[in-house]
Structure formats: C-alpha cells, structure tokens
Chains A and B, each alone.
Chain A
C-alpha cells in the first residue's frame, strides 16, 4: 500500500523539554492509526508537527515522499492535503454552519461556491444536520459542533485526516455520535491518524495502534497485539490504568 505520511525519528523540543524524542511512524492509504498514551505523552504535538502547525527540531516528515522540512515547502499548500480536527472544535463563531464548511474550499482551494455548497449540504445530510446549515455554531450541542468540524475538514477533500482527542471535550452522552461518524469514515477508507483516549474505539477501528510515553513511541502493532499482548511493561501499566 502507498505510504501517505511518514515520520522518521521526529524530535520536538519546547525550550529544554523534549516532547518528542525520535518518533517514527508511517501511515498508508486507507489506513487508520490510533495514537494512545497519557495526557502530555506527545500525541497532540505529533499531530501538530504533521500539520506543520509546529516546527520540528530533528528527523524527517514526508507526505507522499516529499519532505515537509524542505525550506521551499509552502505550509499552506501542505495543510490543504492534511486536515485536522481539534479537541475544542474551533468552529468559527461568526459564520453559519454552512459557511464554516465553505470557507476552506472557497478561499483556500478557490472552488466555486455553488459547487461546494451542494457538496457541503450533502455532507451535512450524511450526518443528519442538513436542517442546521444556517444556524450559528453556538446553537448546536458539543457533539453536533464536533461533527460539523469533522465535515469542515472533509470538505477540503484531504488525503489524511488528523484527529486530536476529538471526544475529550464532550459530555459522555455525546461521545457516541462522534465516534459513530469516525467509524463510518473508517469503513469508507478515509486515511486517519487519531489521538484518542477511547480504547474500545481504537480496538474496533484501528489497523495499527501506537503507544506513546513521554515522547517515545514505545510500541506499535495491531489492536490485538497492543491490547491483548503488550510487549512492554509501560504499555501494560498504561492499559491497566485506563481499563
């Protein structure tokens, strides 16, 4: 399978603190990789580095074989291929649901508003929020907002979707609808890198699970390998704690 995103011994420091210490990971087309690990283990930083929202202090990141650390790379162009969804949704409060979704395709991709509008409404239809298209984000529940944020990313037709603990800010009763949408996306072959605390979800959906501990990728494997037979003591201890 074609490698879409590849991280090779990526190092990231904030001042003296090393947040990522040589993390290597690759993501193939149609693959879902879940990043697990305690808060502060470097999951979010890893996603941000992949989306060029953070600079990198060492190693290599490449998208379809092109190094993203090359000086001539335009981060804005890279981000049009790698979409990101945030823990706190970050919908634009001054724009309607529909305009939130249209912003990227219309201004970054310079596509015709009418064309994108039809696609956006179709996407909203799929998540059952078509009748909320003209509402402002603050009229929606957290779960609805997060689903709109996911659709906003999908409207860019990205090669990869990065999801940063997208259910962590949600009321427990609203987590299910967001995870169902992600399951749906996984089943239709969306390439995703998901940082999550939802172990059951990771077990169901992921092709690969990677466990991060204090900036080190301790082990990586299929969900069966990681959840049933973890090879490292720290992985085992972490899974004990979250169970």
Chain B
C-alpha cells in the first residue's frame, strides 16, 4: 500500500512554469540582476566616502593622488623613502623565507613522523618546536630574534641587517606552521597505501619518498600557498626592527607629510602581490577537484 502511494497521481500537473518573480533571477535576466545588485552595493560603499560628514577629510588624508605618488617614488631631500623601492625588500624577504620554510618545514614534519628509536630526542624536539612557535605571536619572535641576536655580540650572527633577522624570524615561525601542513598531508594518504608499500618490503624511508610524499604534496599545495600569502603580508612586521620596507616607508611618508595616503599605496602594492597568488591557489584547487572528479 505505502509503496504505491504515488500511483494515483499519474494525471499530468497543470502548470510547471516558475513565477515571474523567480524568472527575474534566471538566465540572461539573472545577469542583469547581478549587474544591478553589484552596482548598487559597490556604489553604496564608495558613496559613503562622499556623503559622510568627514568624507572630504578622509579623501584628502588617505586618497590624495599627489601624496600617493610622492610616497610611491619617495623624496630623498625630504627624507621620504620610496614605498615602491621598499616593496623590493618585502619581495626578497618572502622569497628567501619561503624557500627556507619549505625545506625546514619538511625536515621538521619528517623528523616528527620518523620511527627510528635513535631519533627519539629529535622527535620530541620537533614536537616541542611546532607547539612553541605556533603559539608565540610572530611579532614577539621578530623582537626576540631581531634584538636578541645582535645583543649576543657573536660575530657573524650579530652583524646582520634587520631584514635578515626578519627573514630568520619569519622562517622560524612559518616552518612550524608548514610542518603541520605537511604532516596533515602525509596523514591524509590512505592507510592502504602504507600497507601495500610495506608488503612490498620497502623500507620506511623508501615508502615516504616513493609512495607517501608524492601523494601528500598534491593535497598540501593549496594550504601551503595559503600560508605563503600570509607570509608575504607578515614581511611588513619586520618594519618594527627598522628595516625600510614598504610599510615602514609609508609610515615615514605619513609622519613627514602628515598624510596617510602612503599607507593606501603600500596596501595596494601588497594586494598586487597577494591577489595573483590567491587566484592561482584557487585555480589549482579547482583543477585538482576536476581531475579527482574525472578520476572517480
């Protein structure tokens, strides 16, 4: 009886058309709807800068074209550093840190997942390391490294520029994050892969190198790029050590000219770096999703 519940509904339904209100959101009309809503929302946000009582002041102090240009190119006679040139410091800092982070992160993850009894103290140290440096705010690590190492008065170690100490601090902190990303990737490889590789008589190192890591890297790339995006931004924190990078140059311009437009320039330049990276990450994620769906 229950199985045949719908049998008496065999007569065709009278009307299958959507309501007019619903049609507004479908097909080409849907496109029109999305354009209208975008213009309204974005236009509304921009309009705030024009209708707000302090709008003119904010436009003068933050979006002043003359000041923005001045901050971008700098003016040595006024003692203003170029935000554009400062950005080059950010770029080399994150390029160097990223390479180091990739290497150290893997080394820490590998040590943490090793099985040899000889490596036990290193296993404990790497666990301690990730716990420690994921917990300490990066700005504090930067202070400790940037003011601590020069204070040691220990030759080579104590004679570096603030940017180098900044790289060291960023590498120390981000290696801890990235080690955990690697570890999650390694753990995401199904256990059957490990069993199959083991049953072939491969050693632990061979299994990691030939079976587990190649599969882990695929899942790890998007979160890894994510961490790199925040690393790129965090290079600005090295300004606290006195390195003249983009954020510091903007600060100098602001205090010399009593105008904050330099900060907006620095923000736009950082966006120009991170947005392509974000888009690229999304592209990789989507591509990986497609190949996986095709494979299933």
Q: B215: which A residues are within 8 A, CB to CB?
A: 92-94
Known contacts A93-B215, A94-B214, A104 near B200 by CB under 8 Å? yes
Q: How far is the CB of B221 from chain A (nearest CB, A)?
A: 14
Interface residue? B201 (CB, 8 A): yes
Contact B214 A108 (CB under 8 A): no
Query: Within the complex, what minimum Cβ distance (angstroms) separates A166 from chain B?
Result: 13
Q: Which of B190, B195, B198, B200 has the most chain A CB atoms closer than 10 A to its own CB?
A: B200
Q: Is the CB of A108 within 8 A of B206?
A: yes
> Who on chain B is nearest to A87 by CB?
B192
Q: For B192, list chain A residues within 8 Å (CB).
A: 86, 88, 90
Known: A92-B211, A138-B295. A108 touches B196 (CB 8 A): no
Q: A150-181 interface mask toward B, CB cutoff 8 Å, 1 = contact, 0 = none? A: 00110010000000000000000000000000
Interface status of A53 (Cβ within 8 A of chain B): yes
* Least Cβ–Cβ distance between B290 and chain A, in angstroms: 13
Are the C-beta atoms of B196 and A90 separated by less than 8 Å? Answer: yes
Interface segment out of the listed A20-28, A75-83, A204-212, A227-235: A75-83
Chain A's closest residue to B211 (CB) is A92
For window 185-205 of B, CB contacts with A under 8 Å fall at 190, 192-193, 195-203
List A contacts of B206 (CB < 8 A): 107-108
Q: Mark A116-147, 1 if CB is under 8 A from B, else 0.
A: 00000000000000000000001000000000
| Segment 83-101 of A: residues with Cβ below 8 Å from B | 83-84, 86, 88, 90-94
A104 close to B195 (CB less than 8 A): no
Q: Hey, which chain A residues are within 8 Å of B203, CB to CB?
A: 76, 108
Cα–Cα, bound, A173→B296 (Å): 19
Chain B, interface size: which category? 20 to 34
A211 to B190, CA, bound (A): 31
B residues near A91, Cβ cutoff 8 Å: 196
B287 within 8 A of A: no
Nearest-neighbor residue (CB-CB) of A100 within chain B: B196
Q: Is B202 a contact of A86 with CB atoms below 8 Å?
A: no
A218 at the binding interface (Cβ < 8 Å): no
Q: How far is the CB of B234 from chain A (nearest CB, A)?
A: 33
A93 to B193, CA, bound (A): 9
Closest A residue to B292 by CB, please name it: A138
Specify the chain B residue showing the minimal Cβ separation from A152: B200
Closest to A75 in B: B198
Tell yes or no: B59 within 8 A of A by CB: no
Binary interface profile of B, 197-225, with partner A (CB < 8 Å = 1, else 0)? Answer: 11111110010001100110010000000
Answer whether residue A51 sits at the interface, using C-beta atoms and an 8 A cutoff.
yes
Chain B minimum-CB-distance residue to A47: B199
Contact in complex: B201, A53 (CB < 8 Å): no
Does B196 lie within 8 Å of A79, measured CB to CB? no
Whether B200 lies near A90 (C-beta < 8 A) is no
From known contacts A92-B211, A93-B215, A94-B214, infer whether A107 and B196 are also in contact, taking CB-CB under 8 Å: no
A139: nearest chain-B partner, CB-CB: B295
B196 touches A156 (CB 8 A): no
When distances are taken between beta carbons in the complex, the residues of chain B under 8 Å from A107 are: 202, 206, 210
Instruction: Say yes or no for A103: interface residue by CB 8 A criterion.
Output: yes
Which of A75, A77, A79, A94 is the one whose CB lies under 8 Å from B200? A79
Contact B199 A83 (CB under 8 A): yes
Beta-carbon contact of B199 and A79 below 8 Å:
yes
Complex Cα distance A53/B191, Å?
A: 12
Q: Which of chain A's residues has its CB closest to B217's CB?
A: A94
Q: A107-B210, A138-B295 are in contact. Are A90 and B195 (CB under 8 A)?
A: yes
Nearest Cβ on chain A to B117's Cβ, whole angstroms: 13
Q: Determine the residue in chain B with the shortest Cβ distance to A78.
A: B201
Q: A88-B192, A92-B211 are in contact. Are A51 and B199 (CB under 8 A)?
A: yes
How distant is the Cα of A90 from the Cα of B198 in the complex, in angstroms? 11
- Beta-carbon contact of B198 and A86 below 8 Å: no
The complex places the Cα of A153 from the Cα of B295 at a distance, in Å, of: 24
Inter-chain contact B195/A156, CB cutoff 8 Å:
no
Q: Name the residue on A nearest B296 (C-beta).
A: A138
Inter-chain contact A92/B202, CB cutoff 8 Å: no
- Is A53 a contact partner of B200 (Cβ separation < 8 A)? no
Evaluate contact between A156 and B200: CB separation under 8 angstroms: yes
Tell me if B201 and A104 are in contact (CB < 8 A). Answer: yes
* Chain B proximity of A82: nearest CB distance (Å): 8
The chain B residues found within 8 Å of chain A, CB to CB, are: 190, 192-193, 195-203, 206, 210-211, 214-215, 218, 295-296
Given A103-B211, A104-B200, A138-B295, 13 extra CB contacts under 8 A: A76-B201, A76-B203, A78-B201, A79-B199, A79-B201, A80-B200, A80-B201, A84-B195, A90-B196, A91-B196, A92-B197, A104-B201, A108-B201
A contacts, CB < 8 Å to B: 51, 53, 75-80, 82-84, 86, 88, 90-94, 103-104, 107-109, 138, 149, 152-153, 156
- Name 7 A/B residue pairs within 8 A (Cβ), A-sorted: A79-B199, A83-B199, A91-B196, A92-B193, A92-B197, A92-B211, A103-B210
